[in-house]
Chain A
């Protein structure tokens, strides 16, 4: 009997230890990034473009990267939503729940979800060469769109799957077509769409491997789709590999900016799932 008690205590100890390690890791990451970054963060960095000699430690900021990231993220999220909402709707309203196509489609999107962004980047790069495109803002938007579509579809689908069938039947029995029922469905899964959007924004703003091949890098804000553009993660990466301390400090500052953006997005996602479910029937 005693042996059991000892075992139980030991297992509990290991669990407390694991939880503590996890919490310490999270704290360490946030603390390190914030401490190191705020030391060198200044208003000039987030509000100005790289000046001459930026990469050997002269003045300037990384506004180009912030704006470049925003362009790519906003455009790819918009295009991604336009493509994925109909797919989710099709899977859940038009197809019967035991449909083979729906099964295969869900599996395929799960698999696409798991494909690493570097592979997306490599593939998009060959695609761009094939189409005669050069590394550009457009290329970055294309690859990020491809990357987030599976995320959007699968996370919206998780919400739509729990959509009450009765509500569909009620709408059909009133004589509405499946297309007209979309309004009912949209209202029900609206919080799902919002969280899915935030999730994919978070993923695409932090993605470096995909845009590395396709968007290139530049010191100015792009004015057309065919120009190269900088992105926040790549700007961190490139500046960190420079030998000068001044340049590295700017990388840490950029890391804080990126972390704050991502944390806000993640908090917002949690908030929306908790609050905005008022139209939702359970």
Chain B
């Protein structure tokens, strides 16, 4: 009888270990699969040329990813520039200043932001942000803009990474010990001085890691960005130009790509590029955050 119980336990242990390891191996399989699919284009065109060439003519066998890389970078940078101050001030306020009832309103609001699907942000972007840019904002700076711009994509993206940033920051700031705060107050520092030179300084590495994590999230956003960015394969020169980030490229052309093997390979290379960058960013930031957590 007791033998059976032990056998059951051992079997379960083995089965669970297998499931865990298979799930783990999935990261490797994914990278390997994407690499194999993008091998044809990598063997034909050197990596450096792929990334720095800006002619995109799949049917003439010209695959320059430069406009897409630049589009992705522009959109991501704009998103971080908007989201970082907003989320920092919000998080400082929530942890250092606010009363309970403020938190009771703000946290559910952030929850809603976090739970809304990408396509809803896209709908909101086309209904609100795009007309606002083309009618109100752009006329001050340029003669004409459709509104489907790098800026629109950046704004939409910034709101999408906002809840992630705030929740990471709040976690970081609450982990700063109260003794430090008290000693700062005891020395006569104001609240803001304490927030700035004790809380923020103490959590600076964590803030940095959180931003990197948010960037990796922003890099892969597809549908919302695709709906507002204009999808023009050219390097943007101002925030009022259209752009064409990498995820949008993959999503827009998946039907077409099967007609040409090299085209398919190029798009899989785009996916691989995204995979590798996100993997590295994610790994680095998670390792830093984990170290902070353990302290």
Contacts and interface: CB of A to CB of B under 8 A. Distances in A.
Say whether A associates with B: yes
Interface of A: 4-5, 7-8, 11-12, 14-19, 21-23, 25-26, 28-30, 32-33, 36, 83, 86-87, 89-91, 94, 101, 104-105, 107-112, 114-119, 122-123, 125-127, 146, 149, 153, 177-180, 202, 205-209, 212-213, 233, 236-237, 240, 251-252, 255, 258-259, 262-263, 265-266, 270
Interface string B1-41: 00001101100110111011001101100100110010000
A212 B254 contact: yes
Given A86-B19, A87-B16, A123-B34, A262 B190 contact: no
Majority DSSP secondary structure for residues of A touching B: helix
B123 A114 contact: no
Contacts of B118: 206-209, 233
A153 to B, nearest CB: 8
Given A15-B90, A110-B286, A179-B12, 18 more contacts: A11-B195, A15-B89, A15-B97, A16-B93, A19-B89, A22-B109, A23-B106, A86-B20, A90-B13, A107-B286, A114-B281, A115-B278, A115-B279, A116-B247, A118-B247, A118-B250, A123-B271, A262-B116
Given A26-B109, A116-B222, A266 B115 contact: yes
Identify the 10 closest CB pairs spanning chains A and B, nearest first. Answer: A116-B220, A206-B117, A90-B16, A18-B89, A122-B271, A209-B222, A177-B9, A15-B93, A266-B115, A11-B192
A32 B128 contact: yes
Contact of B222 (A83, A109, A117, A146): A117
A30 B17 contact: no
Contacts of B102: 19
A94 B13 contact: yes
Contacts of A213: 254
A29 B90 contact: no
Nearest to A4: B190
B23 A4 contact: no
A119 to B, nearest CB: 5
Nearest to A204: B117
Nearest to A146: B26
Contacts of A109: 23
B93 A18 contact: yes
Contacts of A17: 89
B293 to A, nearest CB: 11
B35 to A, nearest CB: 11
Contact of A116 (B213, B219, B267): B219
B138 interface: no
A255 B274 contact: no
Contact of A23 (B109, B128, B159, B268): B109
A178 B15 CA distance: 13
B230 to A, nearest CB: 13
Contacts of A11: 192, 195-196
B124 A29 contact: yes
Contacts of B135: none
Classify chain B: how many residues form its interface, as a range: 35 or more
A243 to B, nearest CB: 13
Given A26-B112, A91-B20, A146-B26, A255 B119 contact: yes
Nearest to A5: B190
Contact of A29 (B89, B121, B217, B281): B121
Nearest to A234: B119
Given A18-B86, A111-B282, A270 B117 contact: no
A118 B220 contact: yes
Given A146-B26, A258-B120, A126 B33 contact: yes
Nearest to B258: A129
B85 interface: yes
A44 B128 CA distance: 27
Contacts of A263: 112, 115
B76 to A, nearest CB: 12
Given A19-B106, A118-B247, A101 B20 contact: yes
B117 A233 contact: yes
Given A111-B282, A119-B271, A178-B13, A8 B120 contact: no
Contacts of B27: 108, 111-112
Contacts of B16: 86-87, 89-90, 94
A33 B279 contact: no
A7 B189 CA distance: 12
Contacts of B267: 122
Nearest to A112: B27
9 contacts: A105-B20, A112-B27, A114-B216, A122-B34, A127-B33, A149-B23, A177-B5, A179-B8, A259-B116
A258 B290 CA distance: 35
A115 B195 CA distance: 33
B192 A7 contact: yes
